[in-house]
Amino acid sequence: KLASRKDPVTTTRKVTYTIRVHALDPWPLTLANGSARSQSLAIGWARGHGKRGTTRVVRGAPSEADGARAAKYTFEHEFTVECTMTVHRDGGVKTKGLELAVLAVPEDATPGERVESVPVGAVNVDLGVYLNAYDGVSDGYDVDTSEGVLRAVGRAPKLYVSVAARASGEAPATLRELSSASVVRNVSLSPQRRDEPTEVARDMQGT
């Protein structure tokens, strides 16, 4: 049976997503003047052309997983993006990617000034998965990073995020009450070369 104009193959919906970046854990400590210390890191995000931003720069605190060699970074940064989502007749949703990058900031950076950050990890979030997440969903994503980071902490670090969807024009969701402690799912990335930054990570250099 061929689809008619009254029976479209796809429909579109304008959706506003509220995303909250909670934490990165664990991330390895670095050696400086003979002692181990945490780096200065931020999380950059990009959605399509011209939609991008970064969290504040933070230093890590000792990780509950292994405080002797790793740190946990708490960001609690919230932002919104508006997307036109394509929904297929069978209920499937076209992929709509949100790129997140772990950015290392030079230790001698001056607060308030633009600096050249170095991408050291990446996560790709499919916003289509959260189309009906009206109350918000928290997930822990494996960070795609270098073999050196993986060896240092013994596993892939996790980036904890919450995502909620609203029809465009409605009041945005509030995700403040959700945190990394409320994560109900763990998400693993498909294998790829971890020693090379993703396109979005390279594009974020200089932010």
pLDDT tens digit sequence for 154-170? 999 999 999 999 987 66
Percentage of residues in the chain having pLDDT higher than 90: 53
On the question of pLDDT at 101 being above 90, the answer is yes
Q: What does the block give as tokens for 5?
A: 């104009």
Q: How much is the pLDDT for 6?
A: 56
Distance CA 123, CA 45 (A): 10
- Average pLDDT, integer, range 176-188: 46
Q: How much is the pLDDT for 200?
A: 29
Q: Give residue 181's pLDDT band: very low, low, confident or very high (50, 70, 90).
A: very low
pLDDT tens digit sequence for 107-152? 766 655 666 889 999 999 999 999 989 888 999 999 999 999 999 9
Distance CA 198, CA 121 (A): 8
Distance CA 100, CA 161 (A): 10
> Domain residues of the chain, as ranges?
10-203
> pLDDT higher for 87 or 67?
87
Of the given ranges (29-43, 140-154, 164-178, 185-199), which has the lowest mean pLDDT? 185-199
Distance CA 52, CA 193 (A): 24
Q: Give residue 175's pLDDT band: very low, low, confident or very high (50, 70, 90).
A: low
Distance CA 195, CA 125 (A): 20
On the question of pLDDT at 45 being above 60, the answer is yes
* Sign, Cα dihedral of 93, 203, 107, 120: positive
DSSP H or E segment with residue 147: helix 147-153
User: How is domain 10-203 classified at the CATH fold level?
Assistant: Immunoglobulin-like (2.60.40)
